[in-house]
Structure 1
Amino acid sequence: MSKSYILASGSPRRKELLELLHIDFKIITSDIEEIINPDLSHEDVVMDLAKQKATDIASSNKGSIVLGFDTLVIYKNSPLGKPKDNNDAFSMLRQLSGNTHQVLTGCCIIEGDKVETFYDQALVTFSTMTDQEILDYIDTNEPMDKAGAYGIQGYGAKFIENVNGDFYSVMGLPINKLYKYLNNIK
């Protein structure tokens, strides 16, 4: 009997990436209010948030393997979440312009009573952007639902100078690490 997988995320990027692993899964979006423990490191925060989402869905889906994720963009040791509005997106992109930042993606896999959490990280370097380039990018609306206000796989790609680490982790799902974990529980 094949395993039943649930992606606890409404992210179209995570859905697209999970499909690359050729596993059957359904999507059930967790709508919990994310609670960030200020005493945790950034790495522990992304794992904890991923666990909160996965636990929320796993509680009513016994017998399934639930996958939860969370991504944070960190610049100068400060997290940059999803922008609240265009001004917030502009501010974030202005900070990232010409600089290197860290992207952390946490993952939680729940199967019955077994809970595995891990994270992956990448360093992303942006080229220098003019204010007009930032405004034009914001006009695409792409930045509005993404941590750090950019999509590495979309229009934002033209501003990426370098990625040190897993490109897919920057998109929100560390494919290689997840594949290895899932192979250990099959």
Structure 2
Amino acid sequence: MTARLPLDEQLVALRAALSRNDTLLEVLRRTATLGLPGWYLTAGCLFQTVWNVVTGRPPTEGIKDYDVFYFDDGDLSWEAEDKVIRAAADVFADLPAEVEIRNEARVHLWYEQKFGVPCAPYTSTEAAIDSFAATTCCLGVRLEPDGRWRVYAPHGLSDVFGLVVRPNPVLAPRAVYEAKTEHWRRQWPDLTVLEWPAAT
């Protein structure tokens, strides 16, 4: 069982699983050409590809979009982020999937209005990934200039391969976690979803 392999072998298995998603590989390749600071491909497209491979589904099944995070705190204007988004739209125009690009240095400017809780400014893309509603989702991959894969997985990969969804109550409200997991359970009924911890 991959979830019980040593971490170095899990990393090999992660690359093998993700490499079965041709769209994901193309998003990685094309994002690497954009020169975005501190970028990662992250969120559902990664762990859901693994879930699909583990459960014998087509690699792209149920994947809504491909999220690319980057971090540029030199210009926090919407205009600067929008310029990147529009440039990327041309790069990804012919792909059979939606690619969403966001500057994580700007999240604190809109997060409370959208989710109802304040968000302190992030200091890096990694810090943004750390705040996903489930630790299982805290995963990022990018291509380095020399072609190596850089993998950020602060909670490891065992839950990803083991189909375990574990709450991460550091920022996102409980309602966000429960809405996401309800949706995921319908698509991947093999998941084990752990409950949000009781208030202390």
State the TM-score, normalized to the length of structure 2: 0.29
> Which one has a larger percent strand, Structure 1 or Structure 2?
1
**TM-score, normalising length: structure 1:** 0.30
Q: Which has the higher helix share?
A: 2
